[in-house]
A and B are shown apart, each in its own frame.
Chain A
């Protein structure tokens, strides 16, 4: 054949050398085949001739094995011969054949050979079967799949099936023993194959049948299971080792990194440790706050559970919020707009478990949220009908000190924030920080002064926001033990001091116990209240001692110095001419004790609030034989001024946003200019417009519609009319403050657009009625409380003169209504 090929190539005239080079391997192969064909036939003949000596047969088996391993040419034929050799009378030949077969089968996991071996195994008996089992076992786990397949294709109760099981068992035993030596891939493949085998092999119960038991030994199946578990364990062990190694490496790397960082950049390490400490602290703090909130809601008869790390869940609650339960509570240091979304999400999640789909959530905050938060809160209210109740944490802490206050505080916020409330119409003092506007500088100033032990007298018109300011100041000074004492309920008795002392001491005890619960059982805190019939003189020494002891305990518990006392509505206990001598003495003893604690002991700072600064300006009481006022000129006088235009606009705008309404800019400016920035008056004007104009779909108040209400405000608002009548004019009449009344009449008698009045003009107009001193007093007070504005105007002669203008035109309107035409003429400026 080769000769023919050469001839052909020569005839075609191709380059002999090149072609020969290319065809050399092919020719060699053909040549080898020509040679082997004869050899293979010889070897087969030798093997089949069992009369020949065993050594020759054994040699022939080896030769055939070598040929079959080198080329697949006639491999099947060789395999057949070798399989037959497994039944050779000589055991050495059998062994040689078995080894040869296993070697051939392992070449690239030869599927054809394995298939032949498995088929033969199934049909074999006796030594041939045993030898084939040996062969396949040597091949290993790769034959498992074929064995399993064969098993599933045939009836179980045959000898062949038993051979299959025995082989599988044998392979399994090998695998079990050698599992540690297998590579990862080998282990996985073996595991997969074993799993398949287990799936197809009969389960143990099936093996109890007699027929099968004879053929399929239970041990065989059990061994497969054991091998599978053993491989699984090996996989697990290796995985564990891998994890351990990974972690160890990571730790080692981290340690190296830390060591390097500590060596080269120690400041980075400090920063890291600091942030870790901060993280831990904030989590601890949040946990403490959530715990505190749980106590708070428990006091308000609500059932509260921990929902997740940031959130509590109100399961049930009494009052108006009942319909909104379950609802979430979150506590945030300083809330942002994202917290609104988060709370809404939590609320919706909880809402899915209730019938009522009204959504609400409570957000307890430490620091007042920013403007974006307010906008988002208003939007969530309008867009998602989500009611958010923002409660300052300081208010919660204060309420925990007072029995029954927790429920009250929640009800107060529910009334304010649940739908339907007119947020402009606030008649009482404002405790809600989000509804408190302006006064930030004043708050800071008061805080600093009180911390310096400075006594403060806070004065201003009624409804100018003094009590609201004190409530916010209380929140701002939460690090100091603070007692807010409203004197209105205490003025009815001549001997009011004991009740006030009791109240102050009890509040301090409550704060101490709240901060440090272990104090609840301490006998020294057992306070036997002073009898309310005792005079302040009798109790004051013990009161001072008590406060001293309590102050030390409070400071030890983590509170800062000094104790802060707010005494609101001081007028209720201020002695007047008609009072008995005892009442003046009571005042002196009460304030004498406070002054001693403040000036001598440096333990307390106190602030009094009222309309007029009488408490600090009267030295000698009218009552005969009573010592002088102990707090005469003791307080630094501070007057609560009206809002600037920006503050008024912000207040109106924020409330509008929250209620989902809008006032045009002209209306907003008119609210400020007519009210002069007096928050109560501005809010009442806005409330009037809201009540009268905002109805149904009409959500915008335009100046063209609003104007008529500005022209006749008192026809539409009894509240405004009564405010000017009772709180401003009535108050001046009561005090017989003729100077202020006459001055206001002079301003009211003019047109609204009249220019400011010069001091000279005022003196000239009022000279028939008042002394210069009376006029000066009146001007000072009216300016201090923000009813008139003063400005310096440069005159033609180069000198300057004070000019005055009414700041609250609405007051002039009211006063004009009260004046007849004759009176208006009488008070015209000259």
Chain B
């Protein structure tokens, strides 16, 4: 049964959060990025785990410059790679400069900015030209048509823009790449990764003023550069795990306050238990509870649980199976999840014994599962299954792996 669409922001909380008032959690990550914005970071998280929302929150946090004087300030530039779809490293370089220019203009709130944007659009239509007078001829190629920049041009443009940024009290720029797995799927991925690594390794003029944040899933971490020093070597890797208990409680309170509904504690606990504090699932479970309150219907929890499992069937099936989606679980991940769901709570060592996998393999897999938001870390090497909705859905599914494990 489909949930009636109420007049709620962010496409009924299905889209990324784009207002700071509705964003909860990830404080330590935000603080860490604000403290040192010019590092390379890789933000990993499962589907609908709040990666885009987290990137938005990083932008707000970086633009909110109320910290101590000695703190470095970065201008955030968000680039959605799934939308931009650069076709080469030169094109990516062009996009970086173009988006940085645009962001800077928006930040300046210059009246001329819209005029400039239109003018730039116009420029992109002109491929170039040739000027000839006696004894002299000049061929001009317009880089805006190619939408490509070679290294040296990119470097010079970036240096000029960094200089401009200083006028606005920004020390440098932090590029945030949403959907960065797009790059690792390209044949020029190695070049791009090596290029970013070089900018942060040996370019004295640029490296202290350039931050790079890539968001994506496991494949971003697992990508092996064919040649050259891996970008991962100098990157900090963060998984977007489920929300903390207090953050989840605050989010629920905010939603209830917005809708003038007071949810009883039992139901608040149910929201937390069913969603496993997975950001997207919390919002959706809340939608259902609030909807039924608004309609004055009272449904037994079992029915509501069943309804919601069905509602998320498409999501869950894509989360579950790697063959259906790039964000899906591999067979090993499925087997570990099933093993964990059997014992509700377990350690790496006992899961390794249970599945006959190596400790490293189990630890890596659990890291991914926590990052998808369906497994909760308990501390002391112990883990438990998170979202009950997903767990119930998995139990209802009869996958070959599960059958095998049951046998």
- On A, residues with C-beta under 8 Å from B are 301, 318-320, 322-324, 356, 358, 398-399, 402-405, 407-409, 411-412, 415, 418-420, 427-429, 431, 462-463, 467, 484, 486, 488-492, 499, 502-503, 532, 568-569, 571-572, 574, 576, 712, 714-715, 718-719, 722-723, 726-727, 730, 733-734, 814, 816-823
Residue B253 at the chain A interface, CB threshold 8 Å: no
* Nearest chain A CB to B191 CB, angstrom units: 4
Nearest-CB distance from A386 to chain B (Å)?
15
Assembly CA distance A715 to B366 (angstroms): 12
Among B71, B206, B232, the residue within 8 A (CB) of A404 is B206
User: Can you list 18 contacts pairing A with B, beta carbon distance less than 8 Å?
Assistant: A320-B70, A320-B71, A405-B205, A408-B208, A420-B35, A428-B234, A429-B202, A467-B202, A486-B203, A488-B228, A489-B195, A568-B202, A718-B237, A722-B237, A726-B230, A814-B360, A818-B360, A818-B361
* In the bound complex, CA of A502 to CA of B363 (Å): 48
Which residue of the partner chain B has the closest CB to A569? Answer: B228
Instruction: Identify the closest chain B residue to A712 (Cβ).
Output: B381
Q: Which of B89, B171, B229, B235 has the most A CB atoms < 10 Å from its CB?
A: B229
Residues of chain A with a CB closer than 8 A to B21's CB = none
Q: Which residues of B contact A572 (CB under 8 A)?
A: 194, 227-228
Nearest CB of chain B from residue A414's CB, rounded to whole Å: 8
Give chain B nearest CB distance to A488 CB in angstroms: 3
Q: Are A817 and B360 in contact (CB-based, < 8 A)?
A: yes
Residue in contact with A408 in the complex, picked from B207, B234, B357, CB distance below 8 Å: B207
When A322-B69, A492-B89, A823-B358 are in contact, do A715 and B227 touch as well, CB less than 8 Å? no
Contact A488–B234 (Cβ < 8 Å): no
B226, CB-defined interface residue at 8 Å: yes
Per a CB cutoff under 8 Å, which of A404, A574, A576, A722 touches B205? A404
- Would you call A404 and B159 a contact (CB within 8 A)? yes
Is B72 an interface residue when CB atoms closer than 8 A count as contact? Answer: yes
B142 within 8 A of A: no
* A734–B191 CB distance below 8 A: no
- On whether A734 and B358 interact (CB within 8 A), knowing A486-B201, A489-B199, A492-B89, the answer reads no
A356: chain B residues at CB < 8 Å are 69
Query: Contacts A403-B159, A488-B194 known; A319 to B171 CB distance under 8 Å?
Result: yes
**CB of A705, distance to nearest CB on chain B (Å):** 16
The docked-state distance in angstroms from the alpha carbon of A615 to that of B146 is: 35
Kindly state the separation between the CA atoms of A814 and B69 in the bound complex, as whole angstroms: 42
Answer whether A404 and B201 are a contact pair too, CB < 8 Å, given A318-B171, A415-B208: no
* A533: min CB distance to chain B, Å: 10
B395 interfacial by beta-carbon distance below 8 Å: no
CB pair B204–A405 under 8 Å, yes or no, is: yes
B359 interface residue per 8 A CB criterion: yes
Contacts A569-B228, A726-B230 supplied; 9 other A-B pairs, CB < 8 Å: A402-B204, A402-B205, A405-B205, A408-B208, A415-B36, A489-B194, A714-B360, A719-B236, A823-B358
Return B165 CB to nearest CB of chain A, in Å: 10
Inter-chain CB contacts under 8 Å: number: 158
User: Which residues does chain A contribute within 8 Å of B69, judged by CB atoms?
Assistant: 322-323, 356
B 163-179 contacts with A by CB, 8 A: 163, 166, 171
In the complex, the answer to whether A492 meets B205 with C-beta atoms within 8 Å is no
Q: B358 touching A428 by the CB < 8 A rule?
A: no
CA distance A820 to B351 in the complex (A): 12
CA distance A688 to B35 in the complex (A): 19
Q: What is the bound-complex CA distance between A319 and B201, given in angstroms?
A: 20
Q: How far is the CA of A783 from the CA of B298 in the complex (A)?
A: 72
Complexed CA–CA distance, A817 and B226 (Å): 25
Using CB atoms, name the residue of chain A closest to B188.
A492
Q: Whole-angstrom distance between the alpha carbons of A124 and B195 in the complex?
A: 112
Q: A399–B230 contact, CB under 8 A?
A: no
A405 CB contacts on chain B under 8 angstroms: 204-205
Docked CA distance A358–B70 (Å): 10
Distance in angstroms between the alpha carbons of A462 and B227 in the assembled complex: 12
Residue pair A727, B202 in contact (C-beta under 8 Å): no
User: By the criterion CB–CB under 8 Å, are B204 and A489 in contact?
Assistant: no
Residue of A399, A428, A490 near B151 (CB, 8 A) is: A490
- Residue B47 CB within 8 A of the other chain: no
Closest chain B residue, CB of each to CB of A485: B202
Given contacts A318-B166, A817-B363, A820-B357, contact A491 B191 (CB under 8 A): yes
Cα of A571 to Cα of B190 in the assembled complex, Å: 12
A571: which of B188, B227, B237, B352 is its contact (CB, 8 Å)? B227
A residues in contact with B227, CB < 8 Å? 491, 571-572, 574, 576
Partner of B200, one of A428, A462, A714: A428
Most buried by B among A488, A503, A814: A488
* Shortest distance from the beta carbon of A106 to any chain B beta carbon, whole Å: 82
Q: Chain A contacts of B195 at CB under 8 A?
A: 488-489, 492
- Distance (whole angstroms) from the CB of B348 to the closest CB of chain A: 8
B72 touches A415 (CB 8 A): yes
> Binary interface profile of B, 280-312, with partner A (CB < 8 Å = 1, else 0)?
000000000000000000000000000000000
Chain B residues with Cβ below 8 Å from A490 are 151
CA distance A457 to B72 in the complex (A): 39
- Complex CA–CA separation, A489 to B226 (angstroms): 15
Asked whether, in the complex, the Cβ of B206 is within 8 Å of the Cβ of A408, the reply is yes
Cβ-defined partner of A569 (8 Å) among B171, B226, B229? B229
Q: Which residues of B contact A714 (CB under 8 A)?
A: 360, 363
Known A-B contacts A301-B166, A722-B232; A411 and B171 likewise in contact (beta carbons under 8 Å)? yes
Q: 8 closest A-B pairs (Cβ-Cβ)?
A: A488-B198, A404-B205, A817-B360, A492-B191, A323-B69, A411-B208, A818-B360, A486-B202
Residue of B89, B152, B358 touching A502 (CB-CB under 8 A): B152
Residues of B within 8 A of A820 (CB): 352, 356-358
A319 touches B358 (CB 8 A): no
Inside 8 A of B36's CB, which chain A residues have their CB? 415
Q: When chains A and B are docked, how far (Å) is the Cα of A517 from the Cα of B235?
A: 41
Find the A residue at minimum CB distance from B153.
A532
Asked whether A323 and B70 contact (CB < 8 A) given A404-B205, A415-B208, the answer is yes
Give chain B interface residues in 213-229, CB to chain A under 8 Å: 224, 226-229
- Per-residue A-contact encoding for B53-72, CB less than 8 Å = 1, 0 else: 00000000000000011111
B34 beta carbon closer than 8 Å to chain A? no
Q: Let me know if B51 is at the binding interface, CB within 8 A.
A: no
**A463: which B residues are within 8 A, CB to CB?**
233
